Amino acid sequence: MSSDFKNIKSSDTHPPLSDENTSHFKLNENSRIAVIGGGPSGSFFAYFLLNMAERVGLDLHVDVFESRDFDNPGPAGCNMCGGIISETLVQTLATEGIELPPNIVQRGVDSYFLHMDVGSVKIETPLQEMRIAAVYRARGPKGNTDLEWGSFDGYLLKLARYKGANLIDDRVVDVAWSNGRPEIKTRGGVVRSYDLLVVAVGVNSPTLKLFQDLDMGYKPPGTTKTYICEYYLGHDGVGSNLGSSMHTFLLKIPRLEFAAIIPKGSYATVCMLGYKIDKELVQSFLNDPAVKKIFPPDWDSDKGACQCSPRMNISPAKKPYAERMVFLGDCGVSRLYKDGIGAAYRTAKAAARTALFEGVSEEDFEDHFWPTCKSLKNDNAIGKLIFLIIGQLQKISLTRRAILRMVSKEQKKEGKKRRMSAVLWDMFTGSAPYKEVFFRTLHPLFLTSFLWSFAVEIWPFKKRTTIQEES
């Protein structure tokens, strides 16, 4: 490592902020921007920055540093996540003019099943429309040979390149300051300074360590380990066993917080969230009767095509911005447990708007980018409270039965009367902010319906009925 790149403090070389040099912090014609990471947040940033710059007639030079090839199946190009694009994000992208083509969407999802030990119920959207997309971040699991499948991350990167971003197939191995500007050094030996450096890497990336030595107040986000495994069922097998539904599980398994099985192409993706996930917890889940019943009888849980235990962002990074530098997506602030790609879109767009219309100083990012992050951060605090409540309710069989009863009854009603269904839908799909979900549970009609379902469950002389499972 060159001595120029060792522990250079930002305050050593930054130009002082003053009215005289405020123009130094504006992007001008031919300003150079580096984006480290070509995942969704990096590609969204490059795409929207160039798109908005085109509208205002500004020519910018954007380099995206990404050494992975998303066209490869398996771990080589994978960004390791469940791969659900939420209903809200699908609609927002459509409004932006970004359509997700059929070769990128492995399956459109129009409903989900809630599985509990007391029964299962199907929750459908009132519109009966496919508005949730199940995607592969790269080109599917290890060994996948189906060339028709496209990578979601690769598709977004192509959109950014179409807008004019320059893809550099190299890895950034060092970062320093040079004359008040961020300077990067790549594995290939390139040293270049930029007007703005955008860090858009995941929490599992070693690149994040480079920024801990720069004294600028950034602290990486808190993380937890998750578990993801792909099972080959064949296209017809996925259709007949999982259909176009996401399957979610609220089971009374110690340390398991939440689990889902997502249909994608010829595979089923198992995702688990919990406390200290290990082999024992994974086996307990996979051997649970509620899980086994949705797989074919001859399914072998040991024969996963591809599996990983990536870390996921569960608490925000500290100060994800500095002079001429901003951190997006997972390495900045994300959404708790859900809709990480939606958070990548929101933070990337907020950063692009700030950089183009306001400036790239620390103050600009604090005033115009941080509010978006703060709103995600505050919403996550409510999300944590909701998951805590769900965790407690999960332990009581009566409440699980009451939830199941309430949802089953609601499915026969019209959209707006499906209060518990809507709450669960938005919780599990990440379609609405946690704050909105929480306040909906305080609605008198929601509480009355829930208490009624609860009372029916504890009534000793109730007519013995079993909740009908939808098929």
Which residues make up the interface to another protein (CB under 8 A)? Answer: 48, 52, 55, 88, 90-92, 94-97, 99-100, 102-108, 127-131, 133, 235, 238-239, 244, 263, 265, 346, 349-350, 353, 372, 375
Q: Which of 171, 203, 183, 180 is nearest to 80 (CA)?
A: 203
Q: How far is the CB of 346 from another protein (least distance, A)?
A: 8
Task: Identify which of residues 180 and 239 has a Cβ nearer to another protein in the complex.
Answer: 239
Smallest gap from residue 223 Cβ to another protein (A): 26
Q: Report the residue number, 151 or 399, with the smaller CB distance to another protein.
A: 151
Least distance CB 219 / another protein (angstroms): 26
Name which of 431 and 453 has its Cβ closer to another protein.
431
- Closest contact distance (angstroms) between CB of 356 and another protein is 9
Cβ distance 232 to 267 under 8 Å? yes
Measured in whole angstroms, how far is the alpha carbon of residue 463 from the centre of its chain?
Answer: 44
Could you tell me the smallest distance in angstroms from the CB atom of residue 128 to another protein?
Answer: 7
In whole angstroms, the minimum distance from the beta carbon of 102 to another protein comes to 4
φ/ψ of 424, rounded to 5, equals -65, -40
What DSSP character marks residue 254?
T
Nearer to another protein, 91 or 287 (CB): 91
CB of 8 to another protein, least distance (A): 35
Q: Do 126 and 421 meet the contact criterion of CB atoms below 8 Å apart?
A: no
Closest CB to another protein among 95 and 179? 95
463: Cβ–Cβ under 8 A, 6 or more apart, which residues? none
Place of tokens 């098929």: 471
Q: Is 180 helix (H, G, I), strand (E, B) or coil?
A: coil
Phi, psi of 206 (to 5 degrees): -70, -15
CA angle 107, 111, 116 (to 5 degrees): 115
Q: Which residue has the tokens 């997700």?
A: 100
Compute the half-sphere exposure of residue 243: CA atoms within 13 Å on the CB side of its CA: 13
Length of the chain: 471
Distance (Å, whole) CA 423 – CA 434 = 10
Pairing mode, strands 256-264 and 245-250: antiparallel
- Which residue number, 128 or 465, has a Cβ lying nearer to another protein? 128
Could you say which DSSP state residue 242 is in? T
Identity (one letter) of the amino acid at 299? W
**Between 68 and 349, whose beta carbon lies closer to another protein?**
349
The smaller minimum CB distance to another protein, of residues 244 and 315, is found at 244
CB of 348 to another protein, least distance (A): 11
The CA distances from residue 442 to 18, 436, 445, 446, 449, in Å, are: 49, 10, 8, 7, 11
> Is the CB of 150 or the CB of 274 nearer to another protein?
150
Smallest gap from Cβ 146 to another protein, in A, equals 12
CB of 46 vs another protein, minimal distance in Å: 15
Cβ nearer to another protein, comparing 149 with 249: 149
Which is nearer to another protein, 164 or 239 (by Cβ)? Answer: 239
Question: Distance between CA 31 and CA 202 in Å, rounded?
Answer: 26
- In angstroms, the Cα distances linking 153 to 42, 211, 225, 288 are 10, 24, 22, 33
Report phi then psi at 327, rounded to 5. Answer: -110, 130
CB of 75 to another protein, least distance (A): 23
Tokens of 108: 């459109």
Are 342 and 352 contacting, i.e. CB atoms less than 8 angstroms apart?
no
